[in-house]
Amino acid sequence: MKHLNSVIEKYVELTPRSREIWESAKQYLPGGDSRNSIFWDPYPIYIKSARGPIVTDVDDMQRVDFINTMTTMILGHAFSPVMDAVSSQLKNGVAYNAPNSHQIQLAKILCERVPSFDRVRFTNSGTEATMNTIRAARAFTGRTLFAKAEGGYHGTHDAVSVSVKVKVEHAGGSDSPVALPSTEGLPDEVLDQVIVFPFNDVEGARKILEQHKDQLAAVIIEPVLGSVGMVPATYEFLEMLRNFTWQHSIVLIFDEVISYRVTDGGSQKFFGVTPDMTSLGKIIGGGFPIGAFGGRKDIMDLYDPTGGLEMGKEPSVGPHVSHAGTFNANPVTMLAGSVTLDHLTDDIYESLAFNTEILRQGIRDVCAELEIPVQVTGIGSLFGIHFNDVPINNYRDIASSDTNIRRKVFLGLMNEGILIAPNLVGSLSTEIGSNEIKMFVEKFKLVLSKSGI
């Protein structure tokens, strides 16, 4: 506790202007912001600008960004080609009441790269994307239930706000997790529609899915459990889900809002397992609000408003699934997204993965030297740090982590000029090179040495 208090004291010393802004923000915004996932105790920093690998807060302190807007800014902040393209689009307006052609370019790139995409549609968030995958699966199968992994985060809509972060003591056995609300305000029926299964437990999950196989519209899964710790699924687990859903005509959905970072075709290309539908977000908008969902043509055709309309003939039925949104596929986001993806070549993915592995190993080496147990998770450019002595395979392995240690390390790194997520997950951008990685490892060692762990 003594060490934690001194870390907090230093944080408060370094961030007086953020504290002042936070105090006044609370008069208008509950908690002083609009995004609970970036609140941390005692208060968050307010950012004034960001460029390349650096974010600068309102106290003029610079930090190297190792989280990159919860994995979004894969090319770093204010990447010139994206900024230039957006600036030129701004002169032509930002949103129209008719389609724009930038979305076709982004759709083409995604359909060419993502193995499961025959067709794609755009939204303004990953939340809307996962909502649509589940809705489409229900419409396609005529069934209502869907299954998700314990600890899986799929955004903020009701259906998926179940068993995300739960108190393990209330959540049943590890091989038979109970569906628990992740927020107040959910109707009871929501819980009745979700089957929860353990992540990375092939037999345990199969047994649970088997009991509901005839009522399941979909199984939704993050191939890398993101917000709870960058924990990759095993190939065997994904393969089981693919075979099981195929056999029982259940729609398999990969939520790749985070894991699309792993290769140009997402983690589905990395694992060689192709789902029926996929939701995307974050990196594909170049820093602007976005989500996308796509998949098999026969499922995505449910969204076609022409319903097979032929010019000059009576319109037939369609769409079967409604999908609107004032800012969907707005030209600014679409252009920012396609310019970003144009820069994400195979070489870039390889070097991101290479650098991230150097960082992971650096973290392991520091902990080995200081004799602190650690598990460093993640694939591609994603990483998670867990001060555990057993391998991390699922939510429950993480739930037992000591939150005080996490706080000490997170705030300690903040004080030393490094920004990651409060639960010690991060992701690299192309702006992070060997100097920044070296700095992270040195600062990490310094923070741990002073932490009293």
Window of 16-24, 77-85, 179-187, 250-258 that interacts with ligand PLP by CB under 6 A: 250-258
Shortest reach from residue 343's CB to ligand PLP, in Å: 21
Among 65, 150, 201, 255, binds ligand PLP (CB under 6 A): 255
HEC string for the chain: CHHHHHHHHHHHHHCHHHHHHHHHHCCCCHHHCCCHHHCCCCCCCCEEEEEECEEEECCCCEEEECCHHHHCCCCCECCHHHHHHHHHHHCCCCCCCCCCCHHHHHHHHHHHHCCCCCEEEEECCHHHHHHHHHHHHHHHHCCCEEEEECCCCCCCCHHHCECCCCCHHHCCCCCCCCCCECCCCCCHHHHHCEEEECCCCHHHHHHHHHHCCCCEEEEEECCEECCCCCEECCHHHHHHHHHHHHHCCCEEEEECCCHHHCCCCHHHHHHCCCCCEEEEEHHHHCCCCCEEEEECHHHHHHHCCCCCCCCCCCCCCCCCCCCCCCCCCCHHHHHHHHHHHHHCCHHHHHHHHHHHHHHHHHHHHHHHHHCCCCEEECCCCEEEEECCCCCCCCHHHHHCCCHHHHHHHHHHHHHCCEECCCCCEEECCCCCCHHHHHHHHHHHHHHHHHHCC
Window of 126-134, 311-319, 327-335, 440-448 that interacts with ligand PLP by CB under 6 A: 126-134
Residue nearest to ligand PLP (CB): 126
Window of 22-30, 85-93, 138-146, 147-155 that interacts with ligand PLP by CB under 6 A: 147-155
Window of 233-241, 255-263, 296-304, 365-373 that interacts with ligand PLP by CB under 6 A: 255-263
Token pair for residue 232? 């990759």
Shortest reach from residue 314's CB to ligand PLP, in Å: 39
Among 67, 70, 262, 405, binds ligand PLP (CB under 6 A): 70
Identify which of 419, 412, 410, 409 has the alpha carbon closest to the alpha carbon of residue 62. Answer: 419
Shortest reach from residue 308's CB to ligand PLP, in Å: 32
Residue nearer to ligand PLP on the CB measure, 227 or 356: 227
Shortest reach from residue 426's CB to ligand PLP, in Å: 14
Does residue 427 belong to the site contacting ligand PLP (CB under 6 A)? no
Residue nearer to ligand PLP on the CB measure, 52 or 226: 226
Shortest reach from residue 423's CB to ligand PLP, in Å: 12
Residue nearer to ligand PLP on the CB measure, 171 or 224: 224
Cβ-proximal residues to 211 (8 Å cutoff; 6+ apart), any chain:
none
Shortest reach from residue 275's CB to ligand PLP, in Å: 14
Among 155, 275, 331, 384, binds ligand PLP (CB under 6 A): 155
Among 50, 196, 257, 437, binds ligand PLP (CB under 6 A): 257
Does residue 127 belong to the site contacting ligand PLP (CB under 6 A)? yes
Residue nearer to ligand PLP on the CB measure, 257 or 437: 257
Among 18, 103, 116, 125, binds ligand PLP (CB under 6 A): 125
Does residue 261 belong to the site contacting ligand PLP (CB under 6 A)? no
Residue nearer to ligand PLP on the CB measure, 53 or 291: 291
What is the per-residue binding string for ligand PLP in 222-241, x denoting contact by CB under 6 A?
x---xx--------------
Return residues touching ligand PLP (CB under 6 A): 70, 125-127, 130, 153-155, 222, 226-227, 255, 257-258, 281, 291
